[in-house]
């Protein structure tokens, strides 16, 4: 088994240790103190050496254990330790690998000073006034005590290590000038520390004064960029100690790739994939999610999600498609702990469900961490609770938003295009819903977050960023109908024939529409059947077909009156007008203009399981229908005849007046076998 000695004590050293524990290696890690030892993972396959070693002691350890490889992952500023490690490897003839930390670029700023070492930093600070925030640890603290009035001016942040704290107190610094915390620190934490020590200085000295922050050029992994951002944001001057010239070597990712070829994966080491809801911004990450992300070997997500965790400098795979993510996980077995990042919450219109299903048959353990969904944040911002809110997503899909708003007093929609808000606003106006109130939230939890409210009229020409949230309140919502058969007076009639209420009820009963049906209403007339059907289809569509211009006008008027945006008017004669439409699940034929054979043929060619309901008033029409059924060898239809009589007043009495009898013919959806060879027969 390959034997490796790793000199650590850095964040990269810990991550490399965690990685090597997943491989078939004999691993020894050497750290300078007990604090570095305690941060390492507890694993029976890990041997830890604690204490600083001289060059001779390093060489003796290498000879004793006969290591195949020594990895130097010490801090970039620990030049002496790195030189000793390299010399010990030359002396013993052992392969040496230096793990390097890329340096971050320092901005050009008149309030930024640079020093070659702590001695020069002390000289420069001695020529300044005001508080000094020292972020370089406790190792060189005694040197900084040479600054005039150091016990008053110096404020330090060190590791929560007993030895370091005792050394700081021995210099005479007050406890209120010492902060013990484990890094790396993000921008917010650095800003909080700067503000805290500024207030402490003002409290003690009775006046404000510009603060200096002293930091090393430790790269992003050491939190250098976060310190720069915080200092600029808090108007804090910077003194940067330049790092020593570093030996050539490999980055953490390059080192892991190099070791993957030398050390196979442990057969007893399971692979773990965690699906994480990240909320809308980095500060919404839960503590559990943050811990898993920091411990992961690989981070996967869309570019917006990976931008949130770029400061961790971990291996990443930028992807949104679930299949691509599954394939990458399958092909890259070098990664054992994988975090897949999703926006919002993984249980709310998230791609996490599809990825979980794809990973079901993979040799990985899948876990999940929920996040904060955008509706939770948004509704809280506008002072609304989210129970009893009807939720709908327009992100990559369509929905009958006007019909939904007409039925539900509170609707929240996730949007996906800049033009969604103006299109919805115009649709609500067209469907007699201009009275509703709208709230739009865009760029939630970002610097340019915007929340506005108004009526549809206010937003009909206003585009918003694609990933926005829309909340609509309709105090006049009518609720979902549980029956059908609106009174005939509910429709605008004109001079076009209309299917009467009682017959319409039977037609809809025979159609047996599910809520996501796709219905063709052929010969729609006034659109009464189309409207009644649309009111039953919150997730469906109705294609209303007619070749009479007046019918199209009446259809539009009746659809708007009843808030039916799921009706799509189609002007033309069937079957030609049906040719480019999506396949129907159901069809109602109220008029065929002599083209019944061709209409039936096209319907069944589009969907052999389509359910068809037709009406006829004359015996000739019924005869023609039966002839078409025989010719096309369709299953036997169900035929009923209905005759309705209505009372009319005649003087002091009421007489029943009979309407013409109507035949309702149903061709139920048949098994596929019933239509084998259908196109050839016809």
What span, in angstroms and rounded, lies between the C-alpha atoms of 616 and 507?
12
Tell whether domain 270-372 is in CATH 3.40.30.10. no
* Helix, strand or coil, per DSSP, at residue 62: helix
pLDDT given for residue 621 in this prediction: 86
pLDDT given for residue 12 in this prediction: 83
pLDDT given for residue 423 in this prediction: 92
pLDDT given for residue 452 in this prediction: 95
User: What CATH architecture applies to the domain 112-241?
Assistant: 3-Layer(aba) Sandwich (3.40)
Does pLDDT of 185 surpass 80? Answer: yes
What proportion of the chain, given as a percentage, has pLDDT over 90? 48
pLDDT digits over 62-117, tens only?
999 999 999 998 877 677 888 899 999 999 999 999 988 765 545 555 457 888 88
Does pLDDT of 570 surpass 90? Answer: yes
Domain ranges (residues) in the chain = 2-103, 112-241, 270-372, 375-473, 488-681
Does pLDDT of 352 surpass 90? Answer: yes
pLDDT given for residue 117 in this prediction: 86
Mean pLDDT of all residues in 655-681: 70
Least confident residue range of 106-120, 578-592, 635-649: 106-120
Does pLDDT of 272 surpass 50? Answer: yes
pLDDT given for residue 484 in this prediction: 77
Label residue 245 by pLDDT band (50, 70, 90). low
Same fold across 375-473 and 488-681? no
Domain covering 2-103 in this structure, CATH number: 3.40.50.720
pLDDT given for residue 475 in this prediction: 92
Q: Report the number of secondary-structure helices (H) and strands (E) in the chain.
A: 25, 30
pLDDT given for residue 572 in this prediction: 93
Mean pLDDT of all residues in 340-368: 92
pLDDT given for residue 674 in this prediction: 47
Cβ atoms of 97 and 85 within 8 Å: the answer is no
**Assigned CATH topology for domain 375-473:** 3.30.950
pLDDT given for residue 74 in this prediction: 87
The set of residues, in sequence order, having a beta carbon less than 8 Å from that of 22 and lying 6+ positions away, is: 265, 266, 269, 297, 336
Burial 458-497 (b: 16+ CB within 10 A, else e): ebbeeebbebbbbbbbbeebeeeeeebbbeeeebbeeebe
Average pLDDT, the chain: 87
By CB atoms closer than 10 A (0-12, 13-18, 19+), residue 577 is: middle
* Residue scoring higher pLDDT (577 or 396): 577
Least confident residue range of 51-55, 180-184, 588-592, 659-663: 180-184
Tell whether domain 488-681 is in CATH 1.10.150.120. no
pLDDT given for residue 80 in this prediction: 84
Highest mean pLDDT among 250-259, 372-381, 477-486: 372-381
């Amino acid at each position: 088994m390959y034997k490796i000695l790793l000199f650590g004590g850095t964040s990269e050293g810990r991550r490399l240790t965690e990685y090597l524990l997943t491989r078939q290696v004999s691993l020894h890690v050497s750290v300078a103190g007990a604090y570095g030892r305690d941060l390492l993972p507890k694993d029976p396959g890990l041997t830890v050496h604690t204490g600083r070693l001289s060059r001779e002691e390093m060489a003796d350890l290498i000879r004793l254990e006969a290591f195949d490889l020594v990895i130097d992952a010490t801090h970039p500023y620990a030049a002496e330790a790195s030189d000793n490690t390299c010399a010990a490897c030359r002396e013993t003839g052992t392969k040496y690998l230096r793990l390097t930390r890329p340096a971050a670029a320092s901005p050009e700023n008149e309030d930024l000073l640079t020093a070659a070492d702590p001695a020069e930093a002390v000289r420069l600070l001695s020529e300044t006034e005001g508080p000094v925030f020292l972020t370089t640890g406790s190792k060189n603290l005694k040197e900084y005590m040479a600054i005039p009035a150091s016990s008053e001016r110096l404020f330090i942040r060190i590791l929560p290590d007993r030895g370091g704290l005792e050394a700081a107190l021995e210099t005479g610094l007050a406890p209120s000038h010492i902060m013990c915390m484990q890094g790396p620190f993000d921008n917010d934490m650095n800003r909080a520390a700067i503000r805290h020590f500024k207030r402490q200085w003002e409290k003690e000295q009775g006046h404000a004064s510009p603060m200096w922050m002293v930091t090393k050029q430790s790269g992003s992994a050491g939190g250098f960029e976060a310190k720069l951002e915080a200092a600029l944001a808090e108007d804090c001057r910077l003194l940067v100690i330049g790092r020593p010239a570093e030996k050539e070597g490999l980055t953490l990712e390059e080192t892991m790739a190099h070791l993957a070829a030398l050390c196979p994966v442990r057969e007893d080491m399971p692979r773990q994939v965690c699906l994480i809801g990240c909320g809308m911004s980095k500060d919404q990450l839960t503590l559990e999610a943050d811990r898993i992300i920091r411990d992961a070997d690989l981070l996967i997500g869309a570019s917006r999600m990976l931008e949130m965790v770029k400061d961790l400098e971990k291996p990443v795979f930028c992807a949104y498609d679930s299949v691509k993510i599954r394939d990458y996980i399958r092909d890259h077995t070098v990664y054992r702990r994988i975090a897949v990042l999703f926006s919002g919450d993984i249980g709310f219109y998230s791609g996490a469900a599809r990825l979980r299903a794809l990973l079901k048959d993979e040799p990985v353990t899948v876990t999940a961490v929920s996040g904060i969904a955008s509706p939770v944040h948004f509704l809280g911002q506008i002072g609304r609770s989210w129970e009893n809110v009807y939720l709908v997503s327009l992100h990559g899909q369509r929905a009958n938003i006007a019909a939904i708003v007409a039925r539900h007093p509170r609707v929240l929609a996730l949007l996906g295009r800049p033009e969604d808000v103006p299109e919805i606003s115009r649709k609500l106006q067209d469907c007699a819903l201009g009275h509703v109130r709208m709230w739009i939230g865009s760029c939630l939890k970002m610097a340019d977050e915007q929340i506005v409210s108004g009526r549809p009229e206010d937003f009909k020409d206003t585009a918003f960023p694609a990933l926005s949230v829309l909340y609509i309140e309709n105090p006049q919502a009518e609720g979902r109908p549980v029956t059908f058969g609106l009174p005939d007076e509910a429709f605008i009639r004109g001079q076009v024939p209309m299917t009467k209420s009682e017959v319409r009820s039977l037609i809809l009963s025979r159609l047996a529409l599910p809520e996501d049906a796709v219905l063709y209403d052929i010969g729609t007339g006034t659109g009464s059947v189309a409207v009644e059907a649309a009111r039953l289809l919150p997730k469906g569509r109705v294609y209303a077909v007619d070749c009479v211009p007046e019918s199209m006008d009446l259809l539009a008027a009746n659809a708007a009156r009843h808030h039916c945006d799921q009706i799509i008017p189609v002007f033309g004669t069937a079957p030609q007008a049906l040719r480019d439409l999506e396949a129907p699940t159901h069809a109602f034929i109220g008029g065929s203009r002599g083209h019944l054979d061709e209409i039936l043929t096209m319907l069944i060619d589009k969907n052999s399981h389509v359910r068809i309901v037709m009406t006829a008033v004359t015996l000739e029409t019924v005869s023609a229908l039966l002839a078409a059924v025989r010719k096309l060898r369709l299953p036997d239809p169900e035929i009923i005849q209905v005759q309705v009589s209505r009372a009319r007043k005649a003087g002091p009495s009421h007489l029943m007046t009979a309407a013409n009898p109507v035949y309702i013919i149903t061709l139920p959806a048949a098994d596929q076998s019933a239509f084998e060879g259908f196109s050839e027969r016809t």
